[in-house]
């Protein structure tokens, strides 16, 4: 934490933030943070007080191949916004949790997928219903036999 002499106390909150940013910029020492994922993956980094979220995303892209637009970060239960990490309370020893968005397609005309084909709904013929019932009975018998073995 940076101490501001009382004689030079800021008059309002905006002035206080400006002074705090200035003192953070003067201290350009790297400090460690940890990035964790829900799967147990972990990465330790050294960042500067002037580092931004874009810088962090670029490091992840270079080191791990994670695209920046698919990663969200959470610090102390709050999402990390664009801008300087130091201004958002990310200090020495902070742990950022990464949430990687899985990008998937959807089968809908608006998805612009070239291979989109709507599903066709039709009624089953009576013999197809009987075949389906036999298949289900066979699979249920297999499952019950496996349950007895285990």
- Considering only residues 112 and 40, tell me which one the structure prediction assigns the higher pLDDT: 40
Q: Tell me the pLDDT band of 86, cut-offs 50, 70 and 90.
A: confident
Residue 61: the pLDDT is 86
Which pLDDT band holds residue 77 (cuts at 50, 70, 90)? confident
- Domains of the chain, each with CATH number or no CATH: 29-100 (3.10.20.90)
pLDDT above 70 covers a percentage of the chain that reads 69
pLDDT surpassing 80 at residue 62: yes
DSSP conformation letters of 42-93: EEEEEE-TT-BHHHHHHHHHHHH---GGGEEEEETTEEPPSSBSGGGT--TT
């Amino acid at each position: 934490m940076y101490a501001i002499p009382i004689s030079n106390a800021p008059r309002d909150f905006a002035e206080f933030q400006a002074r705090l940013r200035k003192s953070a910029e003067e201290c350009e020492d790297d400090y460690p943070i940890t990035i964790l994922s829900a799967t147990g993956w972990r990465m330790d980094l050294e960042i500067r007080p002037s580092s931004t979220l874009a810088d962090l995303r670029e490091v992840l892209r270079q080191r791990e191949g994670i695209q920046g637009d698919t990663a969200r970060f959470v610090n102390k239960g709050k999402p990390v916004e664009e801008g300087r990490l130091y201004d958002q309370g990310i200090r020495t020893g902070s742990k950022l949790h990464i949430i990687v968005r899985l990008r998937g397609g959807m089968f809908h005309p608006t998805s612009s997928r070239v291979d989109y084909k709507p599903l066709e709904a039709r009624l089953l013929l009576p013999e197809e219903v009987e075949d389906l019932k036999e298949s289900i009975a066979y699979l249920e018998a297999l499952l019950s036999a496996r349950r007895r073995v285990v």
